Amino acid sequence: MRLLVVEDDPSLSRTITAAFRAKGHAVDCVESGEDADTSLRTLPYDLVMLDSGLSGRASLPGRDGLEVLRQLRRRRSRVPVLLLSARDGLHDRVEGLNLGADDYLCKPFALAELEARAGALLRRGVGGEAAVIAHGRLTFDTAARLARVDGEPIDLRRREFTLLEVLLIRRGQVVAKQALLEKLFGFEAEPNVNAVELYVHRLRRKLEEVGVQIRTVRGMGYLLENP
């Protein structure tokens, strides 16, 4: 999935970004409310982890995390938002949730809890998809980040794993190359559709022998066929 981290503490931002990239997600990170608003108006995200009290130099007056959230919901965006805050008072939590946050996590927090809460929001954001997706002989554990065939783990690289996750969630539907491009790569990369074709080719070779078919729909994208 593609995630946006909005955090003006560079050390915390790097930690969160590294953790979620290691899980196979494409992660963009920005430090100001202004940059967050621009990113959210420009790109589709599956989850936003948003610091409620942004204070970075690039922030506009009054453009803290809560204002970013307020503007996001005014545009009727339904992207899940996990609000991160150093304020743990009841009033602060209620205010964040009333503005449209889907969850609220107080700093300092354990990285494992952040990952668990983010994972729950991601599953909810794709229509309540089960933690373990079954597809013929293939099972895919979205929480543990494991893919198995007949119970045995299969070796997938990070972006192959993300590609399989997107295709499984939308199994039976054609997924456009551009949509896959946006899911697989963040700001740190300069990809093109040829890179998507390469990852699809690699994943297809690993799955065809177990009866999982990725079909190319010419001019449209890719389809994970029902078993």
CATH code, domain with 16: 3.40.50.2300
- pLDDT given at position 95: 87
Does 12 share its domain with 62? yes
Say whether pLDDT at 206 is over 90: no
- pLDDT number for residue 194: 82
> For residues 138 and 134, what is the distance between their CA atoms, to the nearest angstrom?
6
pTM: 0.65
Q: What is the pLDDT of residues 48-82, one digit of tens each?
A: 999 987 754 444 444 788 889 999 999 888 899 99
Check whether residue 153 and residue 65 sit in a common domain.
no
Give the per-residue pLDDT at 188.
63
pLDDT digits (tens, 9 = 90+) for 8-26: 899 999 999 999 988 878 8
Could you tell me whether strands 152-153 and 146-149 are parallel, antiparallel, or unpaired per DSSP bridges? antiparallel
Is the distance from CB of 105 to CB of 82 less than 8 angstroms? Answer: yes
pLDDT-derived band at 102 (thresholds 50, 70, 90) equals: very high
Per-residue confidence (pLDDT) for residue 189, from 0 to 100: 62
**Predicted confidence (pLDDT) at residue 144 exceeds the cutoff of 90:** no
Residue 95 sits in which domain range? 2-125
**Whether 121 and 170 share a structural domain:** no
**Most confident of the ranges 60-69, 138-147, 173-182:** 173-182
Number of domains within the chain:
2
Judge whether 140 and 168 are in contact, CB under 8 Å: yes
Assess whether pLDDT exceeds 80 at residue 192: no
Residue 97's identity, in one-letter code, is L
% of the chain beyond a pLDDT of 90: 25
74 and 109 housed in the same domain: yes
In angstroms, the Cα distances linking 120 to 37, 124, 144, 183, 200 are 24, 6, 12, 18, 27
Q: Across the chain, what does the average pLDDT equal?
A: 84
Task: Tell me, yes or no, whether 19 and 94 share the same domain.
Answer: yes
With beta carbons less than 8 A apart as the criterion, state whether 137 and 148 touch: no
CB 46 within 8 A of CB 3: yes
What pLDDT digit, counting tens, does each position of 108-136 carry? 899 999 998 998 888 776 544 456 788 88
Q: For residue 59, what pLDDT is reported?
A: 43
Residue where a domain terminates, one of 92, 107, 125: 125
